[in-house]
Amino acid sequence: MRTTSLLLLAGLLFPTAAAAQDWQAVERVETYAVEGQSGIDLYRSIGARGPKLGLARVIAHTTFKLTWTRKYERRGDACVIAVNRPKLVITYTLPKAKGKLSEPLRSRWETFAAGVAAHEKVHGDFIKDMVREIEAMSVGLTAENDPECRKIRADLQARLGALSNAQRARSREFDRVEMGEGGNVHQLVLGLVDPR
């Protein structure tokens, strides 16, 4: 299982051409409750109740489970991946305000929550892109002189590692921009806790 996270901002205010796709990712949303009657209280509740990732709590995060239906075929002395069909389940964990919020806090919370969800959906899109790249790269992959289909498995694992590392780097860079000074997530937090 891989995890992509939207980290709490430091301190209080700072922060390919794919193969034809015949599969659909399953996307699920899980929530955790936060409460408060001010933006700062809601944000503090996120800090206290947000999902833990390592030692830190996060505002939201995206995880995925990826399995494959793979068919190897011997063709003469070679081995070929004839089928590599993914089953992808993406889970978004997001904050949800508990209780009734009065205006204008309710509108500010809705803007914040929608922005956080949109941010996590981008991580989900990055994951789907990676899976499409894996599918496009692997179907038809051939290893010569591999009648037992051993070399092809090692070759595939090496290629999967490179694609996974690229996806993680893409997600980290996206978070760096979004959560940096003036970034979208930084602005969402400011709009929640310090509206002007």
Residue 196 CA to residue 100 CA, distance in Å, equals 23
Ranges of each domain in the chain: 2-193
Residue 31 has pLDDT above 80, yes or no: yes
- pLDDT for 13 equals 33
Query: Does the pLDDT at position 7 exceed 70?
Result: no
Pairwise CA distance, residues 10 & 14, whole Å: 5
Mean pLDDT of 113-137: 96
Q: Cα angle vertex 119, ends 114, 121, to 5°?
A: 95
pTM of the model: 0.84
Average pLDDT, the chain: 88
Is the pLDDT score of 69 beyond 90? yes
Mean local confidence (pLDDT), 122-133:
96
